[in-house]
Amino acid sequence: MTTWTVYLSGEIHTDWREQIQAGARAMDLPVRFTSAVTDHDASDAAGDVLGEESSGFWRDHKSAKVNAIRTQTLIQDADLVVVRFGDKYKQWNAAFDAGFCAALGKPYITLHAEEIIHPLKEVDASAMAWAQTPEQIVEILRYVITKK
């Protein structure tokens, strides 16, 4: 492959995606980035077009499945996945994506602070690397994709 496809999974409340993309652009790396929809409200409402639901469970269910059309397809299409865990929220979808990758044999890198090493040990155990900053991710991409 001459261009790598890298899927960015997880936290949507900080600009880590932009930092990685800007870093890759600055180095002119041949990478195409994909991602889930990161607009929180739009994501929660993804299934609303199919009809209103009175139950919160089913509204969430419909939206989550519409989102999964995108996320599971793009993850399977990616060469590498980066899974980001922030310091807030449950972020079970990020751990779910990591498990999905692990079962497919799809390589992924985790991106998280040192404070949450222990609860993430199973997720890190199947990862190819653990990074703490977007800059480290960009460096890994540069090395993996362009180093002779």
Positions 43 through 102 that interact with its own copies (CB under 8 A): 46-47, 49-51, 54-58, 60-74, 77, 79-80, 85, 89-102
What is the arrangement of strands in the sheet containing 108-111, beginning at the earlier edge strand?
Answer: 31-35, 4-10, 80-84, 108-111, 129-131
Determine if 22 is a binding residue for its own copies (CB under 8 A). Answer: no
Contacts of 52 (CB under 8 A, 6+ apart): 59
Instruction: Give me the least distance between CB of 54 and its own copies, in Å please.
Output: 7
Nearer to its own copies, 22 or 42 (CB): 42
Widest CA span of the chain, in angstroms? 57
Nearer to its own copies, 27 or 139 (CB): 139
Nearer to its own copies, 28 or 118 (CB): 118
Instruction: Give me the least distance between CB of 28 and its own copies, in Å please.
Output: 18
Residue 10 CB burial class (10 angstroms; 0-12, 13-18, ≥19): buried
Please tell me what DSSP assigns to residue 87: S
Nearer to its own copies, 28 or 52 (CB): 52
Instruction: Give me the least distance between CB of 143 and its own copies, in Å please.
Output: 6
Q: What part of residues 113-132 is at the interface with its own copies (CB under 8 A)? A: 114, 116-126, 128-132
Cβ neighbours, 10 Å, residue 21 = 19
Tell me how many residues contact its own copies (CB under 8 A): 80
Strands annotated E in 47-132:
80-84, 108-111, 129-131
